[in-house]
Amino acid sequence: MMIDADAGYLESHEWAKKQDGNVFTVGLTAYAIEQLGDIVYMELPEAGTEVIAGEPFGVVESVKSASDMYAPISGTVVEANTDIPDNPDILKGDAYDAGWLIKIEASDPDEFEDLMDNAAYKKFLETEA
Amino acid sequence: MVLRMKQTPFFAKHTACGARMVDFSGWQMPIQYPDGIVAEHLATRKHAGLFDVSHMGRFQVSGTGAPGFLRHALTNDCDRLAVGCAHYTMLANATGGAIDDAFLYRLGQETFLLVVNASNKDKDRQHLQTVLKGFGAVDFQDVSDPMAMLALQGPESETILQTLVTEAMLPQPKRNALGQLKLCGVDTIAARTGYTGDPVCFELFIPAESAEPLWDKLTAAGAKPVGLGARDTLRLEAGLPLYGHELGIGKDGNEIPVFAIGQAPFAVSFDDPVRRFIGRDVLEKQAAAKQRYKAGDFSDTAALPKVVRQMRLLDKGIAREGAEVYYQGQEAGWVTSGTMVPYWTVKDTVLTDDHAQRAVGLCMVAPHIPVGSEIEIEVRRRRLKAEIVARNLKNRRGSVAYAIL
């Protein structure tokens, strides 16, 4: 699946999905994962870390490059998917479910409305290509 | 105006294989094929990797004046290069820096092939054509277009080539040996050279019009296409320099002295005391500094303020080009190339079917830091522990290269 219908997107290819209450799961889009190629290193924040929408929350590195990952929504990290840095191949098969990276308790859940919806992101990818 | 990208004679093969193409020095080149950089790196170390290196520059230099010209323009001495052999060399400038690094192949008594970096080809040609005035009969030809070039590297490359030889034989099993033969009826110059650190390695020069059929034969025989991404991880694991990183201009804006790289003694010959090659005076001072460092004397580092060393990370993370290096709390230099590279785990000197990864690189540091020293490298405002090592790859004996951990 290249795009998840329920998620909101950033132009930097992160997604956020409402889980329950004010908690959102956050990850990288399938497009980003394909573009990165072999992911060889990842740094995720620990639970309790404050993140700000549009600011970096972690780092993903392929053989050729290091990229910051940006938070789609502001709040507090409640959990990080610690399986991923050791098994980044999980991302290749399932970017939007098993491949979630962090869960954020949003300080302002309305920020979700500022993200691109799946149609807008799809259109954005067409202009990227 | 749109700059038209150049394509090698293998372009259609790359796209047919599903390669991801990138712009590299004006050439459309495969950065990787669908299996990816990690798989390509590992396949080269255990089996055989096939690299299109036709973007590199190839000059044929011949005529009665050719040896004299090359002895002046290049740092290595072609009088010490037998017909049927190749050696590493530099195009040095008068200040002891590298205009380029290159490989010189002696095809005949007065016939040579000089292979240079794609990014420097035009600069090299202009420089060499200026220098050759005054050396009598020298025929200097850019043969990059009519001649395609492949590298076939890894333990199975010899068996693969063996099945394709239709006339004459592969060069004798000695590093840098070369010979002329036919592969599937195609006139080929084969040399036991390469840029991966694999002990079994070949570079092949063939007519451009035979490029595609030979590519098909090689891949059908088991050679795996490898892109520029894994070409870089392989050379880095082997500690080999890349112009623009370990040669040329450094991060501080200064020219990198040729003797900063560990391979310089193999590329520069002072054996003939009367040979006046470009850069000799300065290079002799650099070599003398290196000798003093070996003896533990660091009192005068003017000729060679920093040297290129191999390192490996001890902490988790990756040190990239440009990252600052600290030794005993003091700034000591910077990383010139660095990434994560995969490796096969080894049991009783045999490669297993398991692989892992490690972060390695090259750095330009003060000369007094001994091998085995712990250094720190600043990555995203954190200092990661790393170690200066003699090498990261064991490839001196046998037919397989494997990781030194």
DSSP states along B338-393: EEEEEEEEEETTEEEEEEEEEEEEEEEE-TT--TT-EEEEEETTEEEEEEEES-SE
User: Is A5 near chain B, with CB under 8 Å?
Assistant: no
CB-based contact B229 A64, cutoff 8 Å:
yes
Which chain B residue lies closest to A56 (C-alpha atoms)?
B380
B316 vs A64: CB contact, 8 Å cut-off?
no
Name beta bridge partners: B161.
Answer: none
Of the residues B22, B236, B316, B339, the best mutation for testing chain A's interface (the one with the most A CB atoms within 10 Å of its CB) is B339
Kindly state whether A66 is in contact with chain B, defined as any CB-CB distance less than 8 angstroms. Answer: yes
A37 with B32: Cβ contact below 8 A: yes
**At A1, is the pLDDT very low, low, confident or very high (cuts 50, 70, 90)?**
low
- The distance of B25 to chain A (nearest Cα, Å) reads 17
The structure tokens listed for B42 are 């590992």
A25 close to A71: Cβ distance less than 8 angstroms:
no
Give the pLDDT confidence score for residue B257 in this predicted structure. 98
Tell me if chain B has a CB within 8 Å of the CB of A55.
no
Measure CA B334 to chain center.
21
| Contact check, Cβ <8 Å, B37/A64 | yes
CB atoms B340 and A40 under 8 Å: yes
**3-class DSSP string for B131-164:** HCCCCCCCEEEECCCCEEEEEEECCCHHHHHHHH
Q: Which pLDDT score is estimated for B226?
A: 98
Q: Please list every residue in chain A whose beta carbon sits closer than 8 Å to the beta carbon of residue B38.
A: 38, 40, 63
Check B229 against A59: CB less than 8 A apart: no
Q: Within chain A, where are the H helices? A: 30-36, 83-86, 89-93, 118-128
B357–chain A nearest CA distance, Å = 8
CB contact under 8 A, B37 and A37: yes
Q: What is the rounded distance in angstroms from the CA atom of residue A48 to the CA atom of residue B184?
A: 65
Chain A partners within 8 Å of B226 (Cβ): none
Q: What is the mean pLDDT of chain A?
A: 94
What is the β-pairing status of strands B224-225 and B49-52? parallel
DSSP 8-state assignment for residue B257: B
Tell the burial category of B32 from Cβ atoms under 10 Å away from its Cβ (0-12, 13-18, 19+).
buried
How is residue A2 annotated by DSSP? -
Distance CA A19, CA A106 (A): 11
Tens of pLDDT along A94-119?
999 999 999 999 999 999 999 999 99
Interface-testing mutation among A36, A38, A43, A65, with chain B (most B C-beta atoms within 10 A): A38
Q: What is the ipTM of this complex?
A: 0.84
Task: Please name each of the domains of chain A with its CATH number.
Answer: 8-109 (2.40.50.100)
Determine the Cα–Cα distance for residues A106 and B102; give it in Å rounded to an integer. 57
Task: Verify whether the Cβ–Cβ distance B37 to A61 is below 8 Å.
Answer: no
B37 and A38 within 8 Å at the Cβ level: the answer is: yes
pLDDT tens-digit profile, chain B (405 residues): 556 789 999 999 999 999 999 999 999 999 999 999 999 999 999 999 999 999 999 999 999 999 999 999 999 999 999 999 999 999 999 999 999 999 999 999 999 999 999 999 999 999 999 999 989 899 999 999 999 999 999 999 999 999 999 999 999 999 999 999 999 999 999 999 999 999 999 999 999 999 999 999 999 999 999 999 999 999 999 999 999 999 999 999 999 999 999 999 999 999 999 999 999 999 999 999 999 999 999 999 999 999 999 999 999 999 999 999 999 999 999 999 999 999 999 998 899 999 999 999 999 999 999 999 999 999 999 999 999 999 999 988 788 999 999
Average pLDDT estimate for A79-101: 93
Task: List chain A residues with CB under 8 Å of B318.
Answer: 40-41, 61, 66
Q: How many residues does chain B have?
A: 405
Q: How far apart are CA B98 and CA B231, in angstroms?
A: 22
Q: And the tokens for B118?
A: 């794609």
**What domains can you pick out in chain B, each with its CATH number?**
11-54+145-236 (3.30.1360.120), 306-405 (2.40.30.110)
CB contact under 8 A, A41 and B316: yes
- Type and span of the H or E element at B291: helix B280-294
The CB density around residue B347, as the number of other CB atoms within 10 Å, is: 9
Whether the CB of A38 is below 8 Å from some CB of chain B: the reply is yes
Nearest to B357 among A40, A64, A66 (CB): A40
CA B273 to chain centroid: 28
Choose among B31, B229, B318: nearest Cβ to A41. B318
- Closest chain A residue to B236 measured between Cα atoms? A63
Token pair 């040329």 in the structure block, residue: B248
Pick the residue from chain A with its C-alpha nearest to B228: A64
Interchain CB contact of A47 with B (< 8 Å): no
Q: Helix, strand or coil for residue B68?
A: helix
A68 — contact with chain B (CB < 8 Å)? no
Helix axes B121-131, B66-73, angle to 10 degrees: 120
Chain B (115-174) residues lying within 8 Å, Cβ to Cβ, of chain A: none
C-beta of residue B293 within 8 angstroms of C-beta of residue B366: no
Are B318 and A66 in contact (CB < 8 Å)?
yes
H or E, element range at A18: strand A14-20
